[in-house]
Amino acid sequence: MKTLYDKIWDAHIVHEETGKPALLYVDLHLIHEVTTPQAFAGLRLANRKVRRPDLTFATLDHAIPTIDRNLPFNDKIAEKQVEALRKNCEEFGIKLFDLDRIEQGIIHVFGPEQGLVQPGQTIVCGDSHTSTHGAFGALAFGIGTSEVEHVFATQTLPQSRSKNMLIKVEGELPFGVTAKDVILAIINEIGTDGATGYVIEYAGAVFENLSMEGRMTVCNMSIEAGARAGLIAPDEKTFEYLKDKPFVPKGKNWEKAVEYWQTLKTDDDAKFDKVVEIEAETLAPFVTWGTSPGMSVKVSENVPDLTDAKNETERKSFERAFEYMALNPAQKVEEIEIDRAFIGSCTNSRIEDLREAAKVIKGYKINEKVSAMIVPGSMQIKKQAEEEGLAQIFVDAGFEWRDAGCSMCLAMNEDILQSGERCASTSNRNFEGRQGRGGRTHLVSPSMAAAAAIAGHFVDVRNWKFND
Amino acid sequence: MNNFIKHKGLVVPLYRANIDTDQIIPKQFLKSIERTGFGQFLFYDWRFDENGVEKTDFVLNQPRYKNASILLTGKNFGCGSSREHAPWSLEDFGFRVVIASAFADIFYNNCLKVGILPVVLDEEVIAESVRKAETVEDYQLTIDLENCKIFDEHGFETAFSIDDFRRYCLLNGLDDIGLTLQYETEIADFENTRPGWKNFARGT
């Protein structure tokens, strides 16, 4: 009896022998400008080719500007990196969705949107948030640049099997509680290394009821719990999302594909190495207060006190985090004032995230001391949000409305926090300096970030006065 | 890849939990398209102040730890981003070994590709080694990968474990791609026996 993970694994073994990692076939290789130049250089040095350029797809996202993209970059080093990807894709015959294309976007938004990501596949990318694609029941994980080169040359990867973890969230999410809050709660519960060595399967009513966008948000942050990958079994919602997307099978092949995809679920009596159960009713909107994604509390609570630390090591990290974040122990979350708000990233930049934010923002103006930006995950989403009237709501409220990219999630371009600035961010990492040296990041859902931008401090979105 | 058989070197303690790859090498240095030269940016925000001046209180800047080649650190080291620039910068700075009670998955793999040996030891053993590295002048450890042993000159010795195949590759400095290409026929067979609709990405 097998788990979903076991089934996908078994279907991709090219070679296996005792005492060695298995050689797994890779169905889809997504690439971007930052983690590939050295891999292409390696190929050139060894006089190798990309084995399957037809299974390799590129876009630009990490280092690119999100405004004035028709102009030369201000950052010449970033421009050189972008140029390198263009040249490499041309030389090795890889399809690149460049900045002038409507498909361009954050690689983990682009892949699903084009139907490149499909159930049962193995997917890799030189980016840790590749775990996003587990939302489709695909085994998807981030790799380093040496492994990128390995996949280029062989379309395979030597891999050791992970353990199986089941995270079950049953019940119904209370009003105002989103996919982002679910995954922040899970990381809070199991810790940032709680799933190291595991592949997580998320199951239960909450995940079944989430949209594909919500499922992507959850799987996206599996890496923040240390997991190799996160998975959600594909269902009708998955097939509905994929149908007619550019790269999915068509006609008879679609029917065959769906027939196969329907078999992709964990057998009833399959065993998991670890099981975690959470009740949806106990969840609330979460806000991170520290410098690790596990350091979070419910918005209605206070940040912890030093006495809440479980041991000396944790107490030290609490102290360090309080100092970096300029917070006092046991401070009330709703009293934390912000300078900036960022809605975007591969975690929360899809159309549903923007709709969620727009509901909160409609009819309001952002607080006069806050500057805020919304960065859609792809140019296609940007267009859709404009057509749906969401963009107008954002602009009327005073948000900057940008072009697609990773932007201030990792602040590799000019979208960056200044030292000491505090930001309500829908991204995935609140590490020291992540959004700019000395910048202070609080991870929240899109509706919570939107509400904080308007109020000027964190507020409980469950009590928000919506202008319908 | 560099091979790794045995290494003796100076130990520097950077004993914090959850040191992420953004700390190891901040993102502004990821724009280079080269594979070398990242050592100068290692732990940049911790080593240098906002004017680029060395912070003398940071452990890596203290004269007694200059030329350290073994990094002793807290659990979940290397969490976060998949950037291989993290082990590249450690290697370029002069580190050959990183010791922690647990490593983040992708970082661990990346180290092995670069030829840095990640050693997992119990937290208590690490805490004790940290104490020695802080108190004993010129505290050195020897890591013997052939026998999976780690020891100092003051009577400490312990075994560590590492996957046999990974150990074999490190000892011999083997190139993964070369190894995999031995299975070229099997890769081709796998591709040829897949139904067309699974060999996807054509939208047909």
In DSSP terms, A372 is beta-bridged to: A341
Contacts of A257 (CB under 8 A, 6+ apart): A118, A248, A249, B197, B198
Q: How many domains does chain B have?
A: 1
Q: What is the pLDDT of residues A417-440, one digit of tens each?
A: 999 999 999 999 999 999 999 999
Residue A349 CA to residue A357 CA, distance in Å, equals 10
Q: What is the pLDDT of residues A457-466, one digit of tens each?
A: 999 999 999 9
Which residues of chain B make contact with A160, given a CB cutoff of 8 A? 163
Domain that holds residue B151: 6-173
Which token pair is A125?
Answer: 């990318």
* Position A288 confidence tier, pLDDT thresholds 50, 70, 90: very high
Q: Which percentage of chain A shows pLDDT scores above 70?
A: 100
Which residues of chain A make contact with B110, given a CB cutoff of 8 A? 144, 146-147
Does B195 fall in a domain?
no
CA distance B19 to chain A (A): 9
Does B182 fall in a domain?
no
Does B45 fall in a domain?
yes
Which token pair is A262?
Answer: 């329907």
Does B161 fall in a domain?
yes
From the list A21, A54, A226, the residue facing B76 with the nearest CB is A226
Does B192 fall in a domain?
no
Q: What is the pLDDT of residues A120-178, one digit of tens each?
A: 999 999 999 999 999 999 999 999 999 999 999 999 999 999 999 999 999 999 999 99
Does B190 fall in a domain?
no
Q: What is the pLDDT of residues A173-196, one digit of tens each?
A: 999 999 999 999 999 999 999 999
CA distance B25 to chain A (A): 11
Does B194 fall in a domain?
no
Which residues of chain A make contact with B186, given a CB cutoff of 8 A? 14-15, 23
Residue A223 CA to residue A221 CA, distance in Å, equals 5
Q: Which of A120, A125, A142 is nearest to A59 (CA)?
A: A125
pLDDT of residue B22: 97
Interface test mutation site (partner A, options B21, B73, B79, B89, max chain A beta carbons within 10 A): B79
Chain B residue nearest residue A130, CA to CA: B82
pLDDT of residue A425: 98
pLDDT of residue A249: 93
Instruction: Report the mean per-residue pLDDT for chain A.
Output: 97
CA distance A444 to chain B (A): 18
CB distance from B138 to chain A under 8 Å? no
- Residue B133 sits in a domain whose CATH number is 3.20.19.10
Q: Which of A151, A113, A125, A109 is nearest to A32 (CA)?
A: A125
Does B189 fall in a domain?
no
Render each residue's pLDDT in chain B as its tens digit; 204 residues. 778 999 999 999 999 999 999 999 999 999 999 999 999 999 999 999 999 999 999 999 999 999 999 999 999 999 999 999 999 999 999 999 999 999 999 999 999 999 999 999 999 999 999 999 999 999 999 999 999 999 999 999 999 999 999 999 999 999 899 999 999 999 999 999 887 666 655 556
Q: Which of A226, A235, A130, A239 is nearest to A187 (CA)?
A: A226
For B:40-79, CB contacts with A below 8 A are 45, 50, 74-76, 79
Taking the whole predicted model, whether its pTM rises above 0.95 is answered as yes
Which residues of chain B make contact with A150, given a CB cutoff of 8 A? 176-177, 180
CA distance B119 to chain A (A): 16
pLDDT of residue A468: 81
For A:315-344, CB contacts with B below 8 A are 316-317, 320
Contacts of B112 (CB under 8 A, 6+ apart): B118, B166, B169, B170
pLDDT of residue B202: 57
What are the E-state strand segments in A112-267?
122-125, 139-142, 156-159, 163-170, 198-203, 229-231
